[in-house]
Structures are given as C-alpha cells and as structure tokens.
Amino acid sequence: MFNRIELLRILCVAAETTSFREAATRLGASPQTVTRAIKDLEDQFGEPLFHRSTRHVQITAFGERLVSQAREALAGLDQLFHDHGSKREEELAGRIGITAARSIGRRYLLPVLAKIAQEHPRIHFDMRLSDHLTDSVEQQIDLGVRIGFIRDRRYIARAVAQIPLLVVGTPELLQRHGTPPTVEALHQVPTTALIDNNTGRVWPWMFSDGVQIQPANAAFCTDDQENELAAVLAGLGFGQLPSYLTDPHVRAGRLVPVLQDQAPPPWEMFIYRPQQGPVSPRVRLVHDLLVQHLSDPSFVPQA
C-alpha cells in the first residue's frame, strides 16, 4: 500500500517521462510499482490519468490538472522541511563507493566528482577502478558507471550517453600499409587486440549490420584499453577503440579514423546502482549530478 504523498510523487515523476519504465528508473523502483500506484490513483479519482500504448504513455487532461495540484501540494510539504537544513547537510555527508572501468573513471568521473566535492566537502568518495563488474556488496559500492550492457538484475541501470567505436591508426601506419578498403582487409594489416579479463579471450571487433571479426594479424595484445591506445599511437597497428579515447588524438592529427562507413551502432554508457535497500540523499544527489553531467552533449571528458 502507498501513502498519498508517495502516490503523488510517483504521479509527478510519471508525468515527466514517456513510459512507466523510465519513471521507475528515476524513482529507483520497478515498473510494476509505478503501474500499481497510477492505477491506485485512477481508482481513487475515478478518472484515467494516462493513455497507454505498448511503447508510450500520454497524460490525460484530467491527469495534467491533477499533476499541477499535486506539485503545489508537494511543494508546500517540502517547504515545511525547509528550515531543517542542518539535518539535510548531515544527510549529505559520508562515504560513497563508486566503481568504473579504468579509463572511464579517470576521464569521465574524476572531473565531475571534483566539482561535487567542492560543493559538498563532507561527501567522501571511494573509487574502485576495474574492468570487472564489481560486486556491490563485497566492495560496498553505491554507484557504478559502465559501457556496454548491464544484464544483472541486482542493478538498476540508466543510459546517459552514447559512445561510438572507431578503427584508427597513425598517419605513418597508413603510409606503410594503406587505408584498409574493407573490414576483411583488416586481416592483412597489423592490429592491436584487447583481452576480456572476464573470459581471457580477445574482444571481437564490431561493425555495422552485426558483422564481427577478430583480426588475424594482432601485433600487440593487452588487457588494458589505455595501454592499447598507447600501442596504437606508437604505430604498432590499427585498433578499434571508444571515441572518448581517440577523439583528442584524431583532432590533433595523431590518429586517422578508417572504415567509418562500416562503424557499428554506438555503445551506451550506463550509471547503475544496487537494486536492494533505500537510497541515501547523498547517493541520490551524486547519482543525479552524474546523470546531468554525463548526459550533457557539451561535456568533454579529460584527455
């Protein structure tokens, strides 16, 4: 059972999204929870609040009027607690455990966390950089940032950015071996290879239309993506790398993209948190600020 304040808060969030699933992600709840709450309100008011389809929800005219009144009511409740600022500051103090892949942590997270720390000096960050999906309980992780897929149902994940994959090489490498005209031509030129630490196997290279290959002529193999970037910059071979690693070097002329017409769909960057337990105000604050910064198209990660 929901209390009336919870119902109104869920309604207001649902009104700002295009689906109950998106509303559930923002609330840190399940889509079924949002659906039940909206149905409860509709039963209480005897009016439909949303028009539903298989993909989207659209708020009704009655729903819009109710949301407007609900926001005013919630704002009044929030004002009652406004004077308790000292308690709020206490809630915004303490440790936050964050995990990310090594290159993401250094380039994406540190600049944002530095800004948060300046505004909220009583929040302390414990960052664990690993290319493995870290166990949230064992490592006391509150938030994580990953690129690719989050299939583990123990986590609530939200996509915040798209990351293109580029095949790049140095101008000198292109002079020696030419520009590969096709994906298959990559088997005839020196390349780099990245090992998946979870399986011990080499990651395949991905291209449009679901094409995947493992170049046969790997001149350099590593389990660290920044190490692979260094090898590509040294001219050891062509590499397929995420844009946040290659873009500064492409702009400076140190790397040249090839086979751009065969590029795969961009990968997604996710912010995720454990499913279980309540979310503290400080964790929610940092989560929301990370979403704000990382989803901003003008945000440029550090080189």
Q: Looking at per-residue confidence, does 54 or 192 come out higher?
A: 192
Average pLDDT estimate for 80-86: 56
Identify whether 302 is part of a domain: no
Q: Do 152 and 278 fall into the same domain?
A: yes
Number of structural domains in the chain: 3
CA–CA–CA angle 100, 105, 110 (5° rounding): 135
Phi, then psi, of 156 in degrees rounded to 5: -105, 120
Residues 74 and 143 in one domain: no
149 and 208 inside one domain: no
**What's the rounded mean pLDDT across residues 149-163?**
79
CATH number of the domain residue 125 falls in:
3.40.190.10
28 and 47 fall within a common domain: yes
Q: Is residue 30 part of a domain?
A: yes
Structural domain ending residue among the three candidates 52, 80, 108: 80
Residues 253 and 274 in one domain: no
Structural domain containing residue 47: 4-80
Q: Model confidence at 303, in pLDDT bands (50, 70, 90)?
A: low
Digit-coded pLDDT (tens) for 210-269: 999 999 989 999 998 999 999 999 999 999 999 999 999 999 999 999 999 999 999 999
Comparison of pLDDT for 61 and 299, the residue scoring more: 61
pLDDT value at 137 more than 70? no
Backbone angles phi, psi at 126, to 5 degrees: -120, 100
Give 174-195 pLDDT, tens digit per residue.
999 999 999 999 999 999 999 9
Is the residue at 43 inside a domain?
yes
Rounded distance between C-alpha atoms, residue 222 and residue 194, angstroms:
5
Residue at a domain's end among 80, 99, 130: 80
Which strands make up the sheet holding 165-169, listed edge to edge?
A: 239-242, 165-169, 256-258
Give the span between the Cα atoms of 97 and 143, in whole angstroms. Answer: 6
Pair 199, 246 in one domain: yes
pLDDT of residue 229: 96
- pLDDT band for position 93 (cuts 50, 70, 90): confident
Local structure of 115: helix, strand or coil: helix
* pLDDT-above-70 percentage for the chain: 88
Question: Do residue 279 and residue 258 come from a single domain?
Answer: no
Is the pLDDT score of 277 beyond 70?
no
Give the pLDDT of residue 293: 86
Quote the pLDDT of residue 123: 92
Are residues 100 and 64 part of one domain? no
**102 within domain boundaries:** yes
pLDDT higher than threshold 60 for residue 138? no
303 in any annotated domain: no
Q: Are residues 169 and 253 in the same domain?
A: yes
* Residue where a domain terminates, one of 47, 80, 113: 80
- The pLDDT, as a whole number, for residue 155 is 78
Global pTM reads 0.64
- Whether 159 and 271 share a structural domain: yes
- Ranges of beta strands (E only) in the chain are 50-52, 57-59, 94-100, 123-129, 143-147, 155-163, 165-169, 191-194, 205-206, 212-213, 218-222, 239-242, 256-258, 267-274
- Say if 181 falls within a structural domain: yes
In a domain, 170, yes or no: yes
Residue 270 pLDDT > 70, yes or no?
yes
Q: Are residues 185 and 256 in the same domain?
A: yes
Q: Are residues 169 and 155 in the same domain?
A: no
Residue 121: inside a domain, yes or no? yes
